[in-house]
Amino acid sequence: MTTQSASALPAPEFSRPVRLDQLGRHADSVMISASPEERAALIPRFGLLALDRLEADYALSVEGDAVMARGRVRAALAQPCVATATAVPETIDAPFVLRFVREGESVPEGEELELDAEDCDTIGFTGDAIDMGEAVAETMALAMEPYPRAADADAVLRAAGVMSEEQASPFAALLALKTKKD
């Protein structure tokens, strides 16, 4: 996840700030859900055709200088097919582990994390709060299929006269020449 100064960014579409002095209230499972208006505002940001549900359960804990968020994100959405632009429905139900650190801070030298780097996203923050709504929205985006493809994409492309990779390869052209020669 990327980190930028809060003053340079517009307000997040789905914001659920948690003040650092209120972390104890979030030690047990907390559930957040995006409203219809928040989901509608997220659609253009992530290039979606629909976002029917976005919610998460999470618990927060303090580990050293970091705030750890462990939970599960659930979403129902539709993305455009990369080949045909038709809607490709997708359901996300994925666990997450996030590590919030103050901007400019990193893991002190000699300190070890229990998690592998690929198991934990690190998010920088400034001020006296972290934004779990924004973190959940970004986590959903990372969990989405990167190249959604409709089940009938090949048939639609064939009907439009688009060649498949096999048909367009140099070897296919050579095979066609050989077949023509024989």
- Write down the pLDDT at residue 173: 60
- Write down the pLDDT at residue 115: 45
DSSP SS3 for 109: coil
What are the distances in angstroms from CA 6 to CA 16, 99, 123, 124, 126?
14, 17, 12, 10, 7
- Whole-angstrom distance, CA of residue 76 vs CA of residue 42: 13
Do 137 and 181 lie in one domain? The reply is no
Residue 103 lies in a domain: yes
Do 45 and 130 lie in one domain? The reply is yes
Do 138 and 178 lie in one domain? The reply is no
- Write down the pLDDT at residue 105: 62
List, in sequence order, every beta strand (DSSP E) within 10-86. Answer: 17-19, 30-33, 50-63, 66-80
Residue 57 lies in a domain: yes
Residue 141 lies in a domain: yes
Domain that residue 139 falls in: 6-151
| CB within 8 Å of 107: residues ≥ 6 apart | 113
Do 96 and 170 lie in one domain? The reply is no
Model pTM score: 0.77
Closest CA relative to residue 8, chosen from 105, 99, 141, 124: 124
- Whole-angstrom distance, CA of residue 4 vs CA of residue 12: 13
Do 24 and 95 lie in one domain? The reply is yes
What is the token pair recorded at 155?
């048939």
- Write down the pLDDT at residue 42: 98
DSSP H or E segment with residue 46: helix 36-46
Residue 1 lies in a domain: no
Burial of 140 (0-12, 13-18, 19+ CB in 10 A): buried
Do 144 and 156 lie in one domain? The reply is no
Query: How many domains, in total, are found in the chain?
Result: 2
Residue 89 lies in a domain: yes
- Write down the pLDDT at residue 142: 96
Residue 116 lies in a domain: yes
- Write down the pLDDT at residue 11: 84
Average pLDDT of each block of 10 consecutive residues along the chain (182 residues)? 54 94 91 98 97 98 95 98 93 97 67 53 93 97 95 76 63 65 66
Do 136 and 113 lie in one domain? The reply is yes
